Structure 1
Amino acid sequence: MEEITIIKRNPQGQETFCYHGRVKQRLPGAVLLEAYFDRPDMPFHGMLWKRKDRFVEAYYADRWYNILEIYDCDDGQIKCWYCNVAYPAEIEDGMVSFRDLALDLLVFPDGRQEVLDEDEYARLSLSPEDDRRARAALEELKALFAPPVRVRLDRPAHS
């Protein structure tokens, strides 16, 4: 599998986090990749993200979000889906980057949804058009993950 660098940027485009993964599949305007959590174990909204948890991540050049499907490193079960509302990703050979807009949707396997970081999002100085697109992306994600949750990134997609 092809190695890839993932760069998270703030809304102004400055790099805030960088890590590495492997490309699982490329589609026109999208990439599906796999990465492993490489930070110390971290409690997060009632679950524990552990070093070596597996992330299957989808990035899109034409959508205002990306989706991370998170698997437990011990039993392989899905822990959650973590969806970043963001400007469309820039996908290149060997790299994907995205400008995060703070607003996130956390989806649990039982279908529960939590919108995260609304206060941080409210402090951003987005244009009315960017705000409209970001809020529309959040609504699209909520609908995509409406119970019963059928989204599975770790299955081969067809172009």
Structure 2
Amino acid sequence: MSENSADRLDVVLLKAGRTKIRYTGELLDDDGTRVEVRAPWAGDGVRDFGFVRFEPGDVFTEYYWRDRWYAIKEVRSATGALKGWYCDITRPAVLPHARTRSTGGTPVGPELIVEDLDLDLWVSADGTDVRRLDEDEFADSGLARTDPEAAAAARSALDELESLARGGDFTTLLV
């Protein structure tokens, strides 16, 4: 990660109005629509999904869009081997200007804010394993009742990503 604090930002993942996780990443690119961030695995210890393990040393290159309802995280092992892509269905990302601390007004730096909508997609490195995840959590969230337009956009985003992954066009989103 770059030592230049201007290249760093906090990624804040919200879920149901609360901060699920916050971590610091290196801002690689921001073209005004898509934000690219690199960060080490921010979880505690190993997370074994059965089809992939996230573990200390893994590096995530994350792609967020201001105009799309998903985020794509390319996952590589500590040795650089591609594990695959974990896709979160989210509201479009928000990257406001640098924020300040409530005491003293000291600039803290930018934070990328992303609201997780429960649906996920996994795509293995070789593209043969494409899995829709957490559809039960999405149904239980009540989003279809409380914000039907957002729920429809989330389902549409998951369908789009799955179609691209199964059609072999998935990685075109990342260039």
TM-score by length of 1: 0.88
SS at structure 1 position matched to 2:27: strand
Distance 1:32 1:106 in 2: 19
Corresponding residue number in structure 2 for 1:129: 149
Correspondence 1:84 to 2:88: yes
Moved over 6 A (4+): none
Structure 1 segment 25-104 matched on structure 2, within 5 A: 25-38=29-42, 39-74=44-79, 76-93=80-97, 94-104=110-120
Checking the alignment, whether the CA contact within 8 Å between 1:61 and 1:89 is kept in structure 2 is: yes
How far residue 73 of structure 1 moved from its aligned partner, in angstroms, is 0.7
How far residue 14 of structure 1 moved from its aligned partner, in angstroms, is 1.5
Q: Give the alignment's Cα RMSD to 1 decimal.
A: 1.8
How far residue 27 of structure 1 moved from its aligned partner, in angstroms, is 0.8
Distance 2:149 2:159 in 1: 15
Long gaps (5+) in structure 1: none
Q: What is the one-letter code of the residue matched to 2:148?
A: P
Change (3 A) 1:121 1:150: closer
Checking the alignment, whether the CA contact within 8 Å between 2:161 and 2:170 is kept in structure 1 is: no
Change (3 A) 1:137 1:109: same
Distance 2:132 2:23 in 1: 25
Distance 1:32 1:40 in 2: 24
Corresponding residue number in structure 2 for 1:116: 133
Long gaps (5+) in structure 2: 98-109
Name which of 156, 161, 164 aligns with 1:141. 161
- Specify which structure has the higher proportion of helix: 2
| 1:37-75 CA-partner distances (Å, limit 9, x unpaired) | 14312322333212020100011111111010000112x
TM-score by length of 2: 0.80
Structure with larger Rg = 2
